[in-house]
């Protein structure tokens, strides 16, 4: 299936005969494969007599060879899937299998993508970036202070390099543009929290998605913001380079060295917010974050700190 879609990813018309020759199958077999792609992957394909077949819109498929070559240079293994339940779940399986780490998991599609607080992460085929990095962490969870916020910085830097100059952060793990979500971060742990553990850094970036009826919040994408289809391989490689640099800095200096930069890119800095943790709602003004990544709020003239986890942050009045 991947070979057929690679032939069609430019969005131009291709005759059934030419496709059949390239694949070594009959024209009727080509049509069956295209029907399967529509049914299994949700890809819309146009068929026009005398012209052949084309995708409703161009695709940017993951390039196994180019991605593996790029990540070897970072010292990371790279595994690419066509369809998977969740890149985070697969990264966790890889970490627990004793495989060499760091190991990056990418997929064209997720059938059970996960976001924060148990939310579904919508994952249409070959439209967005579904990215999970498994790392070994010696010294237990104390080495993770502020790590998820640092990952958010890597994502924002990548988006700004790609032309989204207004991309910014929302504590703890969202990346917004114009008040709409463009990307998110989800960290998950396994192993001994006091000794050797594994952390999975999950990142989802909306790249070429232009419509979805299933997303339960305001969202946007690179394509919607910049008006053209983006090469998902270039986005993945740029993200990995930035993330690798931040991870090295975090290991050496911790999050405290990046706290001011994070606050400079925090879109809700100085704004009135409502923080919900279970049944409790706390209202205050965002002062910034602590050296461990905890949110600092001015609550009635008193500075209070709030850690991530099962919390929700909203602007007051929203």
Amino acid 31: pLDDT: 86
Exactly one of 51, 165, 283, 314 is catalytic; which is it? 314
- Residue ranges, comma separated, of all CATH 3.30.930.10 domains in the chain are 64-263
Domain 2-55 has CATH 1.10.10.10: yes
Residue 116 bears catalytic tag: yes
Lowest mean pLDDT, pick from 34-43, 144-153, 160-169, 256-265: 34-43
Mean pLDDT of the region 263-285: 94
Task: State yes or no: 114 annotated in a binding site.
Answer: yes
Mean pLDDT of the region 31-44: 84
Looking at CATH, the fold of the domain delimited by 268-315 is given as: SH3 type barrels. (2.30.30)
Asked if 131 and 208 touch (Cβ cutoff 8 Å), the reply is no
- Return the CATH number of the domain spanning residue range 64-263: 3.30.930.10
Task: State yes or no: 86 annotated in a binding site.
Answer: yes
Residue 218's alpha-carbon distances to 43, 77, 183, 307, in angstroms, are 24, 34, 12, 25
For residue 280, how far is the Cα from the chain centroid?
A: 30
**Is residue 119 over pLDDT 70?**
no
**Is residue 114 over pLDDT 60?**
yes
Mean pLDDT of the region 30-38: 85
pLDDT confidence bin for 233, thresholds 50/70/90: very high
Six token digits for residue 148: 């998820």
pLDDT confidence bin for 171, thresholds 50/70/90: very high
**Is residue 25 over pLDDT 60?**
yes
Residue 136 bears catalytic tag: no
Q: Which residues of 177-210 are buried (b: 16+ CB within 10 A; e: fewer)?
A: beeebbbbbbbbbebeeeeebbbbbbbbbbbbbe
Amino acid 68: pLDDT: 95
Mean pLDDT of the region 84-103: 94
Exactly one of 79, 170, 181, 232 is catalytic; which is it? 181
DSSP helix/strand/coil, 249:
helix
């Amino acid at each position: 299936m991947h070979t057929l879609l690679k032939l069609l990813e430019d969005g131009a018309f291709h005759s059934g005969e030419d496709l059949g020759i390239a694949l070594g199958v009959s024209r009727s077999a080509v049509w069956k494969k295209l029907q399967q792609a529509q049914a299994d992957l949700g890809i819309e394909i146009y068929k026009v007599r005398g012209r052949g077949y084309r995708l409703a819109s161009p695709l940017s498929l993951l390039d196994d060879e180019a991605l593996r070559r790029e990540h070897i240079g970072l010292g990371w293994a790279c595994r690419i899937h066509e369809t998977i339940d969740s890149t985070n779940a697969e990264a966790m399986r890889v970490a627990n299998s004793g495989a060499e780490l760091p190991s990056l998991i990418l997929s064209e599609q997720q059938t059970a993508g996960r976001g924060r607080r148990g939310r579904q992460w919508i994952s249409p085929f070959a439209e967005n970036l579904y990215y999970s990095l498994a790392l070994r962490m010696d010294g237990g969870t104390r080495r993770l202070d502020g790590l998820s916020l640092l990952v958010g910085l890597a994502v924002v830097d990548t988006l700004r390099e790609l032309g989204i100059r207004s991309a910014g952060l929302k504590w703890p793990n969202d990346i917004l543009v114009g008040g709409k979500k463009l990307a998110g971060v989800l960290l998950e742990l396994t192993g001994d929290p006091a000794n050797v553990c594994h952390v999975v850094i999950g990142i989802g970036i909306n790249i070429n998605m232009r419509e979805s009826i299933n997303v339960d919040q305001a969202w946007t994408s690179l394509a919607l913001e910049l008006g053209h289809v983006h090469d998902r391989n270039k986005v993945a490689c740029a993200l990995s380079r930035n993330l690798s640099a931040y991870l090295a800095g975090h290991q050496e200096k911790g999050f405290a060295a990046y706290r001011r930069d994070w606050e400079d890119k925090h879109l809700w800095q100085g704004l009135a917010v409502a923080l919900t943790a279970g049944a409790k709602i706390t209202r205050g003004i965002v002062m910034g974050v602590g050296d461990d990544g905890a949110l600092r709020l001015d609550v009635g003239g008193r500075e209070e700190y709030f850690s991530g986890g099962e919390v929700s942050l909203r602007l007051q009045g929203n």
